[in-house]
Chains A and B, each alone.
Chain A
C-alpha cells in the first residue's frame, strides 16, 4: 500500500455510545487490511484483519470493520463503547506479496464517563 490515512487524530465518545474510526488506503494492487490497538506504554495488539472472503470482519470484543473496495476504506465501528476501549487505534495495510506493513498515524479514542 502506498499510504494509509486516518483522518481523525482524536475521537472523544461518551460511554455506551457508538463510534466509528475512519481508515482509507491507497494501493495499486490487492491488499490485506488490519486494525491494531495500542494501550499506553504497550506494543500493538491485533484487533481484527481482512485477508479475503467476507468483507465484514469482527473482533471478540465487539468491534467490527468493513472492507469497501470501491471506496478504499476499512472503517472500524463499535455499537457501544466502554471505558476500557480507551486506547490508540492504528489501521494498517499490506500489499499482496509484499512484506511491508504500512500504518496510519493513529486515532486516539477517549471514552467519556
Chain B
C-alpha cells in the first residue's frame, strides 16, 4: 500500500479524443511525476510537478499536459489521442523536490481504438 491512488483503472478512448487521468497522493507529497509504460517496455518519464509547477519534462509532445492541486491530487491530460498512446500510465509522488523516493500508484490502463 503506497498511499497513491489512480483513477480510473481502465479506460477506452477513440483516436482524436481527449482524456484526463487522475492521481491522489499522500498528504505532504509535494512532488508528482507521471510515466507512460507501453506494453513490454519500461516506464518513460512524461513530466513532474513540484508545488503545482512543472519542474521537469521528458520527450513528450505538448498535447500531454498536467496539473497539480493544493490537495495533493494531480491530473494528466492528453489531447488528440493517437493509437500509440495506448499504455499504462503511472503516477509517482514523494515529499522532496526531486521525487528521490517516489511511491507509485497502480496505474491507469488506457486503450485507444
Partners in one complex: yes
CB distance from B34 to the nearest CB of A (A): 11
Closest chain A residue to B91, Cβ basis: A43
CB distance from A74 to the nearest CB of B (A): 15
Hey, which bits of chain A sit against chain B, CB under 8 A?
A: 4, 32, 36, 42-46, 49, 51, 90, 92, 94, 97-106
A selection of 9 A-B contacts at a CB cut-off of 8 Å is: A42-B106, A43-B2, A43-B90, A46-B102, A100-B56, A101-B92, A103-B35, A104-B42, A106-B41
Closest chain A residue to B1, Cβ basis: A45
Please, how many angstroms separate the alpha-carbon atoms of A98 and B31 in the complex?
13
Hey, which bits of chain B sit against chain A, CB under 8 A?
A: 2, 4, 6, 31, 33, 35, 40-45, 48, 50, 55-56, 58, 90, 92, 97-107
Contact for A98 among B90, B98, B102, B107, CB less than 8 A:
B98
Closest chain A residue to B43, Cβ basis: A103
Please, how many angstroms separate the alpha-carbon atoms of A97 and B58 in the complex?
15
Which chain B residues lie closer than 8 Å to A100 at the CB level?
45, 48, 56, 58
Which chain B residues lie closer than 8 Å to A43 at the CB level?
2, 4, 6, 90, 104-107
- Whether A101 lies near B90 (C-beta < 8 A) is no
Supposing A94-B100, A105-B41, A105-B42 touch, asked if A99 and B106 sit within 8 A by C-beta, the answer is no
